[in-house]
Amino acid sequence: MSTRTRHMKRRTMLRGILGGAGTVAVGLPLLEAMLDNHGEALADGSPLPKRFGVWFWGNGTHPGNWAPQAQGANWQATGILAGLAPVKEEISVISGGTLPVKNAHNLHVEGAVGILAGGNPLLHPSYKGQANNWDFLTVPSPSVDQIAAEHLAGSSPYKTLAIGITPVHTSNAGSNNAPGTAISYISHPAPYVFNPPVMDPSKLFAELFGMFHPGEPPPEALARAKVLDAIRDDASTLRGRLGKYDQSRLDLHLEGISELQNRLTAMVAGGEYCSTPPDPGNPDSARLRARAMAELVAMAFACDLSRVVSLEFSSPASHVGYPDIGITNASLGASFHEYEHQKGYDANVIKGLTYFMELYGEFVAALRAIPEGDGNVLDRCCILGTSDVAGGWDHAFNDFPLLVAGGAGGALVRPGIHVSLGGGNPCRVPYTCLKAVDSPVKSFGSAQYETSEAVPGLLV
């Protein structure tokens, strides 16, 4: 926990005068100060927005065997990558990178934090030698999707969309209520702060489109327009009383209120092909849930409801089964993660790794299916596909799996190519994506992960 000067009650509110006619009170997130000491062109002439996404799966792939043989644009979508064949020209494959983990903590967390946040995990000071140190680890800095969102969000109502498909990791026995976040979540605005993924497509539909009608402002606009202004002075006073982490949480909370006001007050005109999709429900099948989420994200991008998405198909380590392809914990006698440790890269594991690539390909296809301007939504996207390790069997980090899809408004090479990093730093790929969407960052990552080099041939 960070240093703080005083405790405060959990029900502390930010208060202010709204429009001179009455008071408004806004709740606060759970702060450490509340705990004990242990604990192309649019109609207005502006360019069509670029978008960024992360599509993440747990437990890696098969190092030395997943990538194509040929380099350049003539790579073939075969083997584990066979599911990418329908969208092969939209995708670049980046192989041969070695993620420079320190091997100081759980390797699945080190890998996920390394590639997504470009740093070494932070271990919470409440860790006292418990066996499950992964439940106490978090990111040292914002994840790549949040870096992109800082630049791309603009006036879109949702700064970022966080989506999940299979159940996330929960704390192990002996570390219940542990403060770590990086074993379970991939989208982090700050250390110990994560964007919880929406797991139900029907709930995402209701959030995005339940009250949205292209071209019409929401009816609540006038009533909610000044909430943030009303409590701003009280928030400023409170901030001076808080420790470092609590200040960060408060800032993010106020940012969330600002996003909500955008949703309530902005007239979201959308693009020519923006429309309200049907409610997809919540299918039992992970494949069907992933497809439904992909279609909702594609339309959310087309309607400019958001410009950034993180989709977590499975958590780091992939402690789940995949009934869609006959791989269940019961049939394997263990989770996919444990089974791979026991059996290596047998037919069941290869089937699972191929399945992940099929679903990434379907996500890319959903973006390509929505027309926009002279092309489609994917033309202005950069979608990073990656995992937490190169190989789950032995926690390998050589030949780290990385995919980049889309055109990023002409910034990414089309058709896609296969590039080998020759043992180099895989963080060059998220850095390349940030540059493709015009983020002003000069580098990505810290310590041994830091890079300011783009992947050769990927940027136009």
Tell me if 285 is assigned to some domain. Answer: yes
What is the mean predicted confidence (pLDDT) over 401-423?
A: 98
Q: Quick one: 11 and 122 in the same domain?
A: no
Q: Kindly provide the residue ranges of all beta strands, DSSP E only, lying in 187-227, ordered along the sequence.
A: none
Tell me if 202 is assigned to some domain. Answer: yes
pLDDT of residue 66: 98
pLDDT digits (tens, 9 = 90+) for 223-265: 444 556 667 677 777 877 888 778 877 877 777 666 655 655 5
Q: Quick one: 307 and 282 in the same domain?
A: yes
DSSP per-residue codes, 6-17: ----TT-EEEEE
- Band of residue 268 on the pLDDT scale cut at 50, 70, 90: very low
pLDDT digits (tens, 9 = 90+) for 98-111: 999 999 999 999 99
Q: Out of 163-177, 305-319, 407-421, which region has the weakest mean confidence (pLDDT)?
A: 163-177
Q: Quick one: 189 and 205 in the same domain?
A: yes
CB 303 within 8 A of CB 270: yes
Tell me if 142 is assigned to some domain. Answer: yes
pLDDT digits (tens, 9 = 90+) for 300-312: 999 999 999 999 9
pLDDT digits (tens, 9 = 90+) for 125-150: 999 988 889 999 999 999 999 999 99
pLDDT of residue 242: 83
Q: Quick one: 330 and 309 in the same domain?
A: yes
pLDDT digits (tens, 9 = 90+) for 340-372: 999 999 999 999 999 999 999 999 999 999 999
**Percent of the chain with pLDDT strictly greater than 70:** 80
Q: Which domain holds residue 123?
A: 42-216+272-449
Which contacts qualify for 4-9: CB closer than 8 Å, 24 or more apart? Answer: 4/32, 4/33, 4/241, 4/242, 4/243, 4/246, 5/241, 5/243, 6/33, 6/241, 7/33, 7/34, 7/36, 8/33, 8/34, 8/241, 9/34
CATH of the domain at 398: 3.40.720.10
**Which of the given ranges, 111-115, 174-178, 328-332, has the highest pLDDT on average?**
111-115
- Band of residue 33 on the pLDDT scale cut at 50, 70, 90: low
Q: Quick one: 258 and 341 in the same domain?
A: no
Whether 162 shows a pLDDT value over 50: the answer reads yes
pLDDT digits (tens, 9 = 90+) for 14-25: 656 545 445 545
Say how many domains are in the chain: 2
